[in-house]
Structure 1
Amino acid sequence: MQRTSNTVVFVQDSSKVDETDLSLIHALQINPRVTWTRLGGVLDVDPSTLTRRWRRLTREGLAWFSCYPRRNPAWTGHGWQANAFVEVETVPGNRRAVTEDLARLSNVWNIDATSGRRDLMLTVSAGSVMALDEEVMTSIATIPGVRATRTHFFRRILREGGSWRLDALSPDQQRALKPAGGQGKSRPGERDLALLRMLGPNARLPASEAAQRLGCSTATASRWIERLLASDYVSARCEVAHYLAGWQVAATLWLDVPQRELTTVAAAIASLPEIRLCATIGSEANLVAQVWLHRLEDLDEFEEQLATDFSGTRVLDRWITPRFAKRMGHTLRADGRRKDFVPFFAEREPA
């Protein structure tokens, strides 16, 4: 609250995310390019108010959009066919400098600071298993201050962060916001790559701006964007500065599941609302699950539920993530706010 002469003016704390903000973010997670008019009708909030709120959220780095390629055979010839977690151990006192160097690498999509033996965990993408191994050896392990690395290749991704949702809207509101139309089946071309470059840092990029850059009409650009986002070879997500929105704990669980039960157990765990990522993995563990929780104590309850529901599954290791430095190309501040964006591929390259 600020007082000017005899007038009291209430100023919204820029570091806070309130219930209306959470509803807005949840809605945009469901339908990234929904119009403000349609959204206002579903949320029963004036569209101009929603526009102002979204501008504040993005200006303060509290919420943002991204658009990124999925691992899909349609991208043959491009660098997104193999994915892995890469542990990085740093020389004491070098974690910050190493993190800054890693954040500049396009193939490093996520950087998590973690507990345990390693200092950082990266999500790395490349065109093949061999290319990813080369990336680790030549671009990551050679950074000054890196002491050791260890790579865990994803076999199959069952759920990733773009599927994670806030719990702010009613089932009726969620149904009302669901995008229409099915997934595109045609293979992506150079135009789709150009669009992906534009939408990478902001999946809600205005069609008029895309049209100007593509040299087409706004209606045509809008149609191309809708087709791309409806396809099964890209994902668009609306992110939130999770610490400030109430999610204080992120953890990674490394699970050993009996192989004959792996498909069933993996699908069941992937469907849990706390899960941000679930994938079968080539490691001592055969399943990895990342969870977001409100309190560290909630991890005990979550693991107890896993032990009850999946009696043959063992937790081999657990890592706590006290902070994220990069998420799907967006670099983050210590409190989880968005800072900048690193493209998934260089502008000079076709992919």
Structure 2
Amino acid sequence: MESVVLDEIDLSLIHALTIDGRAPFSRIAAVLGVSDQTVARRYRRLRRADVIRVVGRLDARRLGHVVWALRLRVAPGSANAVARALAKRPDTSYVQLASGGTEVLCGTEASSEHDHAQLLEQLTETRPVLAISAQCVLHVFRGGPAAWPALTTALDPGQAARLDPYPGVAPSEVVLDDGDRALLDALSVDGRAAHATIAHATGWHESTVRRRIDALRSAGALFVDVDIDERLLGVHANTLLLMSVAPAALSSVGEALAEHEQVAFAGATTGATNLVASLMCADVYALYDYLTDRLAAIPAISSIETVPIVRTIKRGSIFGG
């Protein structure tokens, strides 16, 4: 990774992109009070260093899809190969290696129970995979279209409001058709891809591409997300928390976690534990402080497992679709 240090303009640009990842640089520049050329130059620098990526993602809930969190136990020495194979799949949103060298974590989305069963069958037939735990994400408290708070502190509320592409528009249900797949594939590679580029990929007219993207985004089915190397933000202890919470307190605990700046994702799940969170801390000492201070102050959490993440193979909006 090229050595990159984020300054105030970079952080403001990243915040702007979390609000509207397809906003023209001229619009972002006007809000930031800098030139168009400055915004374009900063964005190209961050992309060239491969530390941020703007991508189009689907909001599973709006489409009736189901998100699954998979935890694979693999044979010693095979974790990296299994993780890289999973990362190549279009239906995985993120892939990570856990400490110990024998666990791979990944998120997938299924539009039907058949799709999910098919994936699990393929994984169980993969020789290095020894065991699989699959948890269905029932509700998201933080994640997906709701960006990690660490990315959204640079702009004031007035600036953020000026960048909101659909103010006051309520999300609605939407149905994808066969023609949307090529469009979504193009946006998953580059969420800022030009309409002309997407038109070439889909075979549609540019005006059709523009209208369809606008319809999907305004309905809340498609959001444009920012993938970022969390190390740029001083995070060197990425940890998955698997918690058990009394059902009556599940909603309140999930909502409380979503307010913590260290939490990039929080969701209710099926399985032996019913609440999962992705935690971003500066180091292991900050992780200890969080566990014994903020998390310990929530008495409804009856048990917790901490799973340190040692490497991210595929960076995505964790559990976000």
Distance 1:55 1:93, change over 3 A: same
Runs of 4+ aligned structure 1 residues displaced above 4 Å come to 212-217
Find 2:161's aligned residue among 149, 167, 175: 175
Contact 2:77 2:101 in 1 (8 A): no
Q: Structure 1 counterpart of 2:289, which letter?
A: E
Q: Please give the root-mean-square deviation of Cα atoms over the aligned residues, in Å.
A: 2.6
Aligned-pair CA distance for 1:15: 2.1
Find 1:280's aligned residue among 268, 288, 313: 268
Structure 2 CA distance, aligned partners of 1:185 and 1:137? 31
Structure 1 residues not aligned, in runs of 5+: 1-12, 76-80, 331-343, 345-351
Q: Secondary structure at the match of 1:200?
A: helix
Aligned-pair CA distance for 1:40: 0.9
Q: Deviations over 1:68-121 (max 9, x none)?
A: 22223645xxxxx23222211222222222222222223332111113695211
Farther-moved stretch of structure 1 (281-290 vs 66-75): 66-75
Distance 1:197 1:300, change over 3 A: same
Q: Structure 2 counterpart of 1:237, which letter?
A: D
Identity across matched positions, percent: 24
Structure 2 CA distance, aligned partners of 1:53 and 1:133? 44
Q: What residue number does 1:114 align with?
A: 98
Find 2:215's aligned residue among 227, 231, 251: 227
Q: What residue number does 1:262 align with?
A: 250
Contact 1:153 1:281 in 2 (8 A): yes
Structure 1 CA distance, aligned partners of 2:288 and 2:226? 29
Q: What residue number does 1:207 align with?
A: 195
Distance 1:21 1:103, change over 3 A: same
Structure 2 residues not aligned, in runs of 5+: none
Farther-moved stretch of structure 1 (115-124 vs 310-319): 115-124
Structure 2 CA distance, aligned partners of 1:158 and 1:145? 34
Contact 2:267 2:276 in 1 (8 A): yes
Q: What residue number does 1:72 align with?
A: 61
Structure 1 CA distance, aligned partners of 2:131 and 2:272? 18
Q: Structure 2 counterpart of 1:194, which letter?
A: A
Distance 1:289 1:186, change over 3 A: closer
Distance 1:39 1:189, change over 3 A: same
Aligned-pair CA distance for 1:219: 4.4
Find 2:132's aligned residue among 125, 149, 155: 149
The residue correspondences of 1:1-351 to structure 2 (distance < 5 A) are 14-19=2-7, 20-72=9-61, 74=63, 81-115=65-99, 118-129=102-113, 131-138=115-122, 140-163=123-146, 164-165=148-149, 166=151, 167-181=153-167, 182=169, 183=171, 185-214=173-202, 218-303=206-291, 304-308=293-297, 310-328=298-316
Structure 1 CA distance, aligned partners of 2:220 and 2:144? 15
Q: Secondary structure at the match of 2:181?
A: helix
Q: TM-score, normalised by structure 2?
A: 0.86
Aligned pair count reads: 312
Structure 1 CA distance, aligned partners of 2:186 and 2:25? 21
Q: Deviations over 1:192-247 (max 9, x none)?
A: 33321221111111123234444555444323322222222222201112123422
Q: What residue number does 1:9 align with?
A: none
Structure 2 CA distance, aligned partners of 1:104 and 1:216? 27
Aligned-pair CA distance for 1:272: 2.7
Q: Secondary structure at the match of 2:280?
A: strand
Q: TM-score, normalised by structure 1?
A: 0.80
